[in-house]
Structures are given as C-alpha cells and as structure tokens.
Amino acid sequence: MGGPQGVDTTGQGDEDRPPGDLGVLLDALGSGAYVVDEQGRFVAVNARAEELLRRSAADLVGRDAHDLLHRTSKGEELPRTRCGMRQAFLAGRTAQADLDWFERGDGSLLPVSWLITRYDLGGPAPATLVVFHPPAEPGAPEAVPPKPALEPLTDLDRLSLLARATTQLTSTLDVDEGLRRLVALVVPRLADWAVVDLITDRNAVWRTAVVHAVDGALVNRRDLEGAMPQVSEDSSMPLSRALRGVASALVSPQTYHGPPDSGIAVEQRRLFEATGMHSAVIAPIRGLREVLGALTLGRSQRPDPFTAADLPLLEDITRRAGLALDNARLYEQQRKVAETMQRHLLPQLPRVPQLEMAARYLPSSDAAQVGGDWYDAFALTDGVLALAIGDVVGHDLEAAAGMAQLRSMLRAYAWSQQEPPSLVVERLDRAAVHVAEVPVATMLFGRLAADDGDGGWQLTWTNAGHPPPLLVTPDGIARYLTDGHGILLGTAADRPRTDATESLPPGSTLVLYTDGLIESPGRSLDEGLDRLCRHAADLVHRDLESFTDQLLERARPADNEDDVALLALRTPALRRSTAPPP
C-alpha cells in the first residue's frame, strides 16, 4: 500500500513525516496508540503499541490498519461491514468498545478495549487517533503510573489522564469495579486521598470509599466509610453543595472549624482530622438525569495545595465517572428486572412420590438478556409426569415473552390431548407459527411414567432440534438419548415427528439442559457434550441437589455468557431386602 514508510515514533524525520510532537503525545498516553490517515493506513505508533502488537513501527506504517489487525474472537478476518471501529472511522465520530480482537505479529490474538477519535495533524487531510489496551482484570485496574510528588501536570499529562479515564471507566459495567478504577486513576497521581460519596436509590448518602496510598499500594480506611447523614438543602458547606450538584470547590480543614450547619459537616471535620488532609477539592459526580455523588481528592503528604487551576481537570474526570456510573447503575437495574422476570416465568416443580427433581436457571451476564431458555414439569390427568425443556431463539424480553407463550400452549395441548409427545409437539408447532410470537425454538417434550414391572420408570419423548437428554446409571455409566430427533419449531415445514422410548433403571439420573451448558466459543459441540457427560458420571453418587449445583458449575464453559436452564430427575433406587434367606 501507499503512504509514508519508516516513520518513527519520536517524530524526528523529514518534512513529510508528522509534526515532531506527535510521537511524544502518543508515548505520553501510556496505553497503546496509533494514528491513521484518511485511508486508514498507519501514520505513527507509540512504543506501547509496538509492544502490545508485537510489531515494529516499520512493519506497521503505511499498511491498512483494519486488514492488518482486526479479527473475530476465533481469529478469522473481520468483515469491514461488521467492524465497529471502521464504521466510526468512516463517519468521523468518536467511539469506543469494551472488547475486540487484534492479531499480533506472531499470529496470536490480543483482546483490546479501544477509543477512536479524530486527530488534527495540521494538514488538509483528516487523521484519526486510536487508543487501545487489554481489558483490565477484575479487581486489578491499570493504574496511572505515579510521577514525582511535586511535578506539575503538563497538557500532555492531562490528555493522557483523561484518555485513561475514558477508556477505563467506560470499559466496565460493574459499579464497584468502576469506583476502583476511578480511585486508581487519581491516587497517587493527583492526590494522597480519594473519597467517594454516592447517593443511593433511596436518596441516602453512603461514603463508599476512603482510600489513600501507602508505599505505592491503595489502602481503604474502612472505619471512615459507611452511612452518611442526609443532604441538607440549607447547608452552604462544600460537600453538601456538591451532593446537590451545585458546584465544585477548594476545601481545607479551616472550612469546617466553625459551628457545623449539618450532619455532613460534622463527618467532614472528622474526615480531615483522621486523614490529616491540609488541602482538598470536591466535585459533584453527575449522571445524565441526576447527581450521583461527589469525589473528594485530598493531600496530606504532598506539601503543595490544590488551586483553582485543578478544578477543571477534576470536573472532567467526574463527568466521565458520572456517565460510567450511570451506565453501570442502569445496567444493574435492567439486569435485576430481567432476571426477576425470567425467574417468575419459570415454574415450581411438582411433588411426585418417590421421584426426585431439581432445576436451575443461570441467567446471561448481559443486562436484559433474559433469553428464551426454559424448563417445565407438570402432572397430566392420567397421572403421567410431563417434562419439557426448550430455548426460544433470541436474548431479549421478546424471547422471554415468546418462551412464556410456548410453555403455556404446550401445557394446554398436553393436558387436553392424551397423545404421544410427537403429536402434541406437532400441534404446538402448527399453532405457534400462526398464534405465538415465536420465531424459532428448540424443545424436548416427554412423558415419564412408573413401570410397574421392575420398579423402574419409562420415558417417552420427542426432540425438536434440542440437545439430547443425558441418562446416568447409578454405577456412573452415562450416555445420550439421541433417538426421537426432529427439526426445530417454527420452520413451517409441517413434517411428522417421531417418538422414542427408554426405560430408566432404578436409581438413574436424567439430565435435561439447554445449549448454554455445552456451547463454548472456539470449541466444538462434541467437546461440550463430552465434558458434560464426564462430569455427570463423576457426580452421580451425590444427592440430586448437590449433583445439579456441581454439574452446573463444572460443565458450563467459563467463556460462555449464554443463559442456562437445567432440569435433573432421579428415579428411586431398589430397596435391598434385609430378611435372611430361607
């Protein structure tokens, strides 16, 4: 490809190269960073980008960034139409993402969080800056490297700090993790102490974090954290004003020497006495709709006090923190609503004499991703136990609503029609296409009845595109029941379905599950089925509740964020006679 070759990251070169301060700026960002021209070709990279990408600047400059770096999670080339960064690049807008994949020079994949924005090189053609870093591990945010205590912040330092604040605070949807990252950004780079006060959903104030730096480590003062007095509407003290969203302010111990005008003022005096802070700044943390809290930065060891010139930077940081915390809180609220809705849609298991049953539902890790995974068990008029497990395609409230429709229709058909499972599912499939708002779904439906002959139980079932049930005998022999398989629901194919029958020996365990228990990105389905089979055989000696919990924990892939429904049943074991032989 065309473009300047051999551009170094120090900015020192001929007149065709970028301005001399470009390399300095990129290196000052700390994270990996590079600049591309209007055609998406590398113009300059910093040393951190070379290290992360395992490529030299000479290998990168002049080449197309998308073609060289962007991959799917499986290492395949990412189509340009599916690349979020490229769409933002073409639109000339600022954008960011929590997780994408770059290919390194050695062929390995690098997970990255990135931020892209326009950058002015001083010429007629636009350029674009990309800042990226590996996603932070939970509980271990990437802290801003500390600098000498008395060194003032330069413009590049401020830009670097704000870039880190943007990428780190917006790359998590966990409130506690976001607060840890916020504190790590400012201590000890800007202050010796960081105090976070948050307003709860009940309009109470909670001192969430009081943190200071001790020998390079961040230490919480738990004795200073906890519930705070209510915000006074009449108080003129800085924290009360900040919590009302009025203004940021400079604060010193002298601020609280007079008679306190509120309970918060009393706590603030206690805070200054306990920490030894001689200077502090306080700024409100604002969300999109309301004030979320306040951030206080204090200095006790650094002799230089805060000045009014420090307030704009603090306000920029709290503005970013407010947006991140607002998103995290909204995420948690949506997740709770979605999970509550899903759990209320799932049924209570019936009590069947001698038969043990246990069920589990594990929701997706994404907010509102309730999904369409479901299970059901209910007694029919002829005394037979009906069993069902299924998965409606989709991961949203519509999928959950479709799941509820499908389950209700199945119950109605199974109750009113004393027919084999295949005929019940055929009726359900025809009706679902026209009546229920269900696009496509998989389902297994069966009838379980006691076998009077040998004390066992007999299962008759039909399978509509669902993973096969797993049968484990008391001696640990596990196998899948693969008969009775047919096409999934919602195809409008109207093909006849078949039934299968299997005798369940006394003391055997039957496992019905959804694909979230066996599917894993980058691994074959056979591997997931084999893993489930091995763990079920190993755990079959446990009581059913423990068996179900342990199976869910062991078999579910760590990298699969899909929801999981699991239904396990155990038939009664044969009772051994204690009478002496005749």
d(CA 474, CA 449): 19
pTM > 0.85 = no
pLDDT reported for residue 366: 52
pLDDT reported for residue 72: 87
Distance of alpha carbon 466 from the chain centroid:
27
**285-294: pLDDT as tens digits:** 888 888 888 9
Give the domain ranges of the chain. Answer: 21-133, 155-334, 346-570
Which CATH number describes the domain made up of 155-334? 3.30.450.40
pLDDT reported for residue 562: 78
For residues 440 and 394, the answer to whether their CB atoms sit within 8 Å is no
Rounded to 5 degrees, φ, ψ at 265 are -65, -35
Neighbours of 565 (CB within 10 A): 26
In sign, the C-alpha dihedral spanning 281, 286, 291, 293 is negative
Instruction: Indicate the helix (H) or strand (E) that contains 82.
Output: none
pLDDT in tens, the chain (582 residues): 333 333 333 333 333 334 445 666 777 777 889 999 888 999 999 989 999 999 999 999 999 999 999 998 878 888 887 888 988 888 778 888 888 999 998 888 899 988 888 877 766 777 888 989 887 543 333 433 433 344 566 666 666 667 767 766 666 677 778 788 888 888 888 889 999 999 887 778 989 889 998 877 888 899 999 999 988 888 889 999 889 988 888 999 998 888 888 899 999 999 999 999 999 999 998 888 888 889 999 999 888 899 888 888 888 888 888 888 877 777 777 666 666 665 666 678 898 888 999 999 887 655 445 567 889 999 998 889 999 999 887 655 566 667 778 888 999 999 888 899 999 999 999 887 777 666 788 999 999 998 766 668 999 999 999 999 999 999 999 999 999 999 998 887 778 899 999 999 999 999 999 998 998 877 889 999 999 999 999 999 999 999 999 999 899 887 676 789 999 999 998 765 445 555
Give the three-state DSSP class for 468. Answer: coil
- Domain 346-570 grouped into CATH 3.60.40.10: yes
Residue 130 bridge partners (DSSP): 34, 116
Q: Among 40, 37, 91, 92, which residue's Cα sits nearest to residue 64?
A: 40
- Identical fold between 21-133 and 155-334: yes
Superfamily of domain covering 21-133: PAS domain (3.30.450.20)
d(CA 128, CA 41): 10
**530-576: pLDDT as tens digits:** 999 999 999 999 999 999 999 998 998 876 767 899 999 999 987 65
d(CA 404, CA 347): 10
Distances (CA, A) of 126 to 37, 69, 93, 331: 7, 21, 12, 36
Instruction: Count the residues in the chain.
Output: 582
For residues 192 and 302, the answer to whether their CB atoms sit within 8 Å is yes
pLDDT reported for residue 448: 95
pLDDT reported for residue 193: 93
Neighbours of 524 (CB within 10 A): 10
Neighbours of 122 (CB within 10 A): 8
Instruction: Indicate the helix (H) or strand (E) that contains 371.
Output: none
What angle do helix axes 21-28 and 155-169 make, rounded to 10 degrees?
40
Q: What is the CA radius of gyration of the chain?
A: 31
